[in-house]
Copies of this chain bind each other. A is one copy, B any other.
Amino acid sequence: MGKNNDFVKQITKKSEDFSKWYIDVIKRAKLADYSPMKGMMVIRPYGYEIWELIKENLDRMLKETGHRNAYFPLLIPESFLKKEAEHVKGFAPEVAWVTIGGNEVLEERLAIRPTSEAIICSMYSKWIKSWRDLPLLINQWANIVRWEKVTRPFLRTTEFLWQEGHTVHSSYEEAEEETLKILDIYKTLAEKYLAIPVIPGLKSENEKFAGALRTYCIEALMPDGKALQMGTSHNLAQNFSKAFNIKFENKKQEIEFAWQTSWGVTTRLIGALIMTHGDDSGLILPPEISPFQAVIIPIAKGNYTKSILSEAKKIHNKLKEKGIRSCLDDRDSYTPGWKFSEWELKGVPVRIEIGPKDLEKGQVVLVNRIDRNKIFVKQENLLSTLKELLNEIQIKLFNRAKDFRENNTNNVERFSELKEIIETKKGFIKTGWCGSNKCEKEVKEKTSATIRAIINEKNSNFKKCAICGKKAKHTVLFAKSY
C-alpha cells in the first residue's frame, strides 16, 4: 500500500447521476457507512460532528423558549402502543418487536419506539393534575427504529436519531400556538443554519401524523426536483389525552382533558444538506454547521518548511481563539494538491493557503469553496476578511438554493399541465385544490406526486381545483417526494 492509498478517488458527477453522486459523497467524505445491519447506517465522526452542530443550535433555541430535555424508555409495551387507534394503525407495520429478554420469552412483546407518544403520555397522566402543571414543555434527543423496506443513508434508515418534543397545554389555542412556534424554530434552523429555504404548510388528512389533528411541516426542494420533508409539528388536540387519560383541573375548577403537541426533526437533515449544496467536487457545508469553517494548508517547501509550518500553527491558534472552527492539515505524507481535493470533497467552506511567497509578503490566500475564488489578504486583516467571507458563503448558499426553488416552482391551473411538469422537469407545483380525497388520490395515482403542503388553507388564490374544476378551497404544493 502506497502512502496515498486512500487518495481522493473520482466521485460520480452530480449532474450525471444524482443518486450515485449522493452515495459517493457520503462514503468518500466519511459522513456515514453501511453497517452489517441492513438499513441501519453508521454515522462516522465527520457526519456526527455536523449532527452535533445541528443539535447544539436547535437545542439552544428550544431551551430559550422554555423547553427542557428528558429521557423516556426505549421500549414500549404493545398494549400502550394500541391505546390510540389511529396511532397504532400508522406505526404497527413498521415496528421492531422485542420478544425475549434475559433468556425468557416475554409475556407481552415490546416495541422499540417508532416515536414516543405512547410511553410519554402514560407518564404525563401521572404527572399532570392542575393547570398549574401546565404548560409542560419536554423534549427528548433519542434514537428511533422504524422497519423500512427501502432505505437510503440519512434520508430513510431503519434507525435514525432525532429530537421529539411532547408538550401539554390547557387549551386548544395554546397547543396550536406551540405547534406553530416550533414550526417557526424549524424554519429558522433550516434557513439560517442549514442554508436551505423551506416552505411551511399544513399536511392533508392523508399525509398527517397518525394520531394528530393537524400536522404542519417544512418542505424543501432538492436539486433533482423532488421535495423533502424536513420537519413536522403536530397539534394532537385531545386525541392522546383521551386515550391515555391525561386530565387537569382548569382555572374554573373543572376537570378537562389536556391539549397536546408533538414535533421532530431527524438526521435526515444531513441528507438535505448534502443534496442541496454539494457539487461535482463533493460536499459544500454552510459555515454555521460546518465542523471546520476553515482549513489551513501550509505549502511547505525547502528552506521555508519550518517557518511556514510555525506561521500556519500561529494562524490556526489565533483563529481557534477567536471562535473559528479551524483545522490545520500539517500531515507531511500528503501533497498540497491532494489536500485541496480532500477538503473540497469534505465541503469545508474556506481553504487558507500559505506558501513561501505568501510568507514573504505577510499574506495568506483564502479560497472560497463555492467558486474557488481567491482572496489575497494581509495577515492583520485575516480574521475580519475570513468572517466576512464565511458570512457571504452562508448567504450565497441560501440564495442559490432559493433561486433554484423559485425557478422550479410552477403555478398550474389544469391537471394536464401538472402531469406534464411532474413527468418532465418536476419541482414544486402550486395549484388550487377542492379539498377532496378523491382529487388528491387521482393525482397520486396518475403522477405519483402528492400534496406536500397546504400553503394557503383559508383563501386560495386559485379559483378552481386543478383536478376536478370545482371551487378551490386551498392553495397546495404538489411534488414528487423522498
Contacts and interface: CB of A to CB of B under 8 A. Distances in A.
Interface stretch (A70-78, A199-207, A411-419): A70-78
A49 interface: yes
Given A33-B123, A35-B119, A75 B159 contact: yes
A213 interface: no
Main secondary structure of the interface of A (DSSP, over half): mixed
> Which of A77, A96, A127 has most chain B Cβ within 10 Å?
A96
A328 interface: no
A470 interface: no
29 contacts: A35-B119, A36-B77, A36-B80, A36-B119, A37-B77, A40-B73, A41-B73, A42-B72, A42-B123, A43-B71, A44-B70, A45-B69, A48-B69, A48-B70, A48-B71, A49-B69, A52-B69, A71-B161, A74-B112, A92-B103, A94-B102, A96-B98, A96-B102, A97-B99, A98-B112, A99-B99, A102-B147, A102-B149, A142-B143
Given A37-B119, A45-B70, A70-B43, A93 B99 contact: no
Contact of A75 (B40, B41, B130, B333): B40
Contacts of A129: 1, 5
Contact of A333 (B68, B98, B103, B132): B132
Interface of A: 1, 3, 5, 33, 35-37, 40-45, 47-49, 51-52, 68-77, 80, 92-103, 109-110, 112, 119, 122-123, 126-127, 129-130, 132, 138, 142-143, 145, 147-149, 159, 161, 249, 333
Contacts of A48: 68-71
B93 A97 contact: no
A213 to B, nearest CB: 25
A252 to B, nearest CB: 13
Contacts of A37: 73, 75-77, 110, 119
Contact of A98 (B3, B92, B97): B97
Contact of A49 (B52, B68, B98, B100): B68
Nearest 5 interchain pairs by C-beta: A102-B147, A45-B68, A40-B73, A97-B100, A43-B71
Nearest to A44: B70
Contacts of A3: 132
A1 B130 contact: yes
Contacts of A130: 1, 5
Contact of A102 (B35, B93, B126, B249): B93
Contacts of A127: 33
Contacts of A123: 33, 35, 42
Contacts of A44: 70
Contacts of A35: 72-73, 119, 122-123
A76 B127 CA distance: 35
A43 to B, nearest CB: 4
A328 B101 CA distance: 45
